[in-house]
Amino acid sequence: MTMASDPKMIPQSGLLSAEANEAAALAAFGGVLTVDLDAIIANWRKLEKTAVPAECSAVIKADAYGCGAAQVARALHKAGCKTFFVATIEEARKVRAAVPEPTIYVLGGYFQNTGEHYAQINCRPVIGDLNELAEWDVFCRRTGWNGGAAIHIDTGMNRLGLTLAEAQAIIPRINAGDHGITLVMSHLVSAEQLNSPVNAKQLASFRGIASEFSGVPAALANSSGIFLGAPFQFDLVRPGAALYGVNPTPEADNPMQPVVDLKARIVQIRNIERGESVGYGGTWTARRPTKLAIIAVGYADGYFRAASSNDGTRGAEVIVAGKRCPVAGRVSMDLIAIDITDLPPNAARRGHMVTLIGEGITVDELAHHFGTIGYEVLTSLGHRYARVYKGGNVEEPLTLPSSAQAAEQPPSPPPVEQPASPPPLPS
């Protein structure tokens, strides 16, 4: 684990040893979020192996589902990943600063006057509308830029993408060559449901149209789609959530490794009498003399208020001194009360860390208590944790939000590649 005492990151005090300084720096935070880059790499390798001979890309939109797009891109690129997907040009810019070589697609599509941005950082729009395509063509013709673009075809999501008829209309262009289209893709509606009839329907539609894009690589599968079998894998797969440990096969055991560990600090231990209530609204009442641990994380940190408990309903659990203990009362903005009455005396003390995610508490379990899916748990992870990256062969000092600007830069920023002339046409 790298928690390097970088003097730029951790304020030094002449009064304390280096260790005490680091401990003091960590104590400035209510929680510590650890992202295991080796686990992300292992998950990517597993998906790659499942999809071979298809290429395995990585979807790192929304700051790599809250795990840190720059760190994840660097680690996966080192592991051999050559293609990344993000949602916006701004996300692409950050990823490009971290990894100069790989292909980056922007799922959000093309907007007028954004061509220069695409060219500047050498990334590719995922075009999902004929107007976008026309505007992109104008930009490319005017500037001679030929960095490539993907065509997104809608096969049932009715979100982004050309209709099948619109896609059909551009086949002559594909056949004429010199088309600048580097990928044709669609997106699955219900891939996590093995037996959904929508899967086969989308597969048939996509297979038909993709086969007419001769010579253009095709991509359909997200994380769950990879596990629907080889016919869904085409030339490239686009996993996101599974990389970060979310179960892509909710009807079966999770084949992925957990990636995120979240710990929170106990700021106070208190004892209350039977009949006393806890927290806002007094919705939870002690049924026995009760010992509480108050921890310094709340809904502002992405620990949803939906995980609260009351006299009628159990809420989420956290692990204190190796044992599961329930949330007592409402989750508040910065604090949560935990019922630790069943722990041995003195097992938990002020300053100890408790585990909110990890030690068997999965992102999917929390999602259940939050009334959502693992995706939203991850993308909601707060921004006031101390962030620690381990593994990935990437030296990452402890990242403090106050120095976020500095931390976003790679240790020695590689130059962004700016091709002087457009890259050669894809054949």
* Piece in contact with ligand PLP (CB under 6 A), picked from 3-11, 233-241, 278-286, 332-340: 233-241
CA dist 379 and 302 (Å) reads: 9
Please indicate if the annotation marks 333 as binding a ligand.
yes
Residue whose CB is nearest to ligand PLP in the complex, by number:
240
256 belongs to the binding site for ligand PLP (CB under 6 A): no
Token digits of residue 287: 């049924």
128 belongs to the binding site for ligand PLP (CB under 6 A): no
59 belongs to the binding site for ligand PLP (CB under 6 A): yes
240 belongs to the binding site for ligand PLP (CB under 6 A): yes
> Minimum distance between the CB of residue 377 and ligand PLP, rounded to whole angstroms?
13
> Minimum distance between the CB of residue 222 and ligand PLP, rounded to whole angstroms?
3
222 belongs to the binding site for ligand PLP (CB under 6 A): yes
> Minimum distance between the CB of residue 239 and ligand PLP, rounded to whole angstroms?
5
Beta bridge partners of 218: 184
Q: Which of 179, 238, 369, 387 binds ligand PLP (CB under 6 A)?
A: 238
CA dist 198 and 193 (Å) reads: 9
Q: Which residues, 6+ apart, have CB-to-CB distance to 89 below 8 Å?
A: 106, 108, 114, 117, 118, 121, 123
Other Cβ atoms less than 10 A from the Cβ of 229: the count is: 13
390 and 293 Cβ atoms separated by less than 8 Å: no
107 belongs to the binding site for ligand PLP (CB under 6 A): yes
Q: Which of 223, 233, 308, 399 binds ligand PLP (CB under 6 A)?
A: 223
Token digits of residue 184: 């044709």
60 and 85 Cβ atoms separated by less than 8 Å: yes
> Minimum distance between the CB of residue 100 and ligand PLP, rounded to whole angstroms?
24
241 belongs to the binding site for ligand PLP (CB under 6 A): yes
CA dist 371 and 227 (Å) reads: 25
* Piece in contact with ligand PLP (CB under 6 A), picked from 26-34, 98-106, 235-243, 285-293: 235-243
Q: Which is nearer to ligand PLP, 186 or 309 (CB)?
A: 186
> Minimum distance between the CB of residue 391 and ligand PLP, rounded to whole angstroms?
21
> Minimum distance between the CB of residue 149 and ligand PLP, rounded to whole angstroms?
15
13 and 24 Cβ atoms separated by less than 8 Å: yes
> Minimum distance between the CB of residue 358 and ligand PLP, rounded to whole angstroms?
21
Q: Which is nearer to ligand PLP, 186 or 290 (CB)?
A: 186
239 belongs to the binding site for ligand PLP (CB under 6 A): yes
Other Cβ atoms less than 10 A from the Cβ of 190: the count is: 16
Q: Which residues, 6+ apart, have CB-to-CB distance to 412 below 8 Å?
A: none
Please indicate if the annotation marks 124 as binding a ligand.
no
Other Cβ atoms less than 10 A from the Cβ of 127: the count is: 24
* Piece in contact with ligand PLP (CB under 6 A), picked from 74-82, 238-246, 277-285, 295-303: 238-246
- Residue among 88, 174, 167 at smallest CA distance from 130: 167
Q: Which is nearer to ligand PLP, 184 or 242 (CB)?
A: 242
Q: Which residues, 6+ apart, have CB-to-CB distance to 271 below 8 Å?
A: 289, 290, 291, 292
- Residue among 103, 110, 62 at smallest CA distance from 84: 103
Q: Which is nearer to ligand PLP, 62 or 325 (CB)?
A: 62
Q: Which is nearer to ligand PLP, 107 or 203 (CB)?
A: 107
Alpha carbon 188 to its chain centroid, in Å, reads: 19
- Residue among 16, 29, 55, 42 at smallest CA distance from 218: 55
Q: Which is nearer to ligand PLP, 236 or 388 (CB)?
A: 236
Q: Which residues, 6+ apart, have CB-to-CB distance to 318 below 8 Å?
A: 264, 295, 324, 325, 327, 336, 338, 354, 355, 356, 361
Beta bridge partners of 57: none
Other Cβ atoms less than 10 A from the Cβ of 386: the count is: 20
Catalytic residue numbers, as ranges = 61, 280
CA dist 396 and 399 (Å) reads: 8
187 belongs to the binding site for ligand PLP (CB under 6 A): yes
By CB under 6 A, how many residues form the interface with ligand PLP? 11
* Piece in contact with ligand PLP (CB under 6 A), picked from 170-178, 240-248, 263-271, 324-332: 240-248
249 belongs to the binding site for ligand PLP (CB under 6 A): no
Q: Which is nearer to ligand PLP, 359 or 376 (CB)?
A: 376
Which positions lie near ligand PLP, rule CB under 6 A?
A: 59, 61, 107, 187, 222-223, 238-242
Q: Name the binding residues.
A: 159, 333
Q: Name the binding residues for substrate.
A: 159, 333
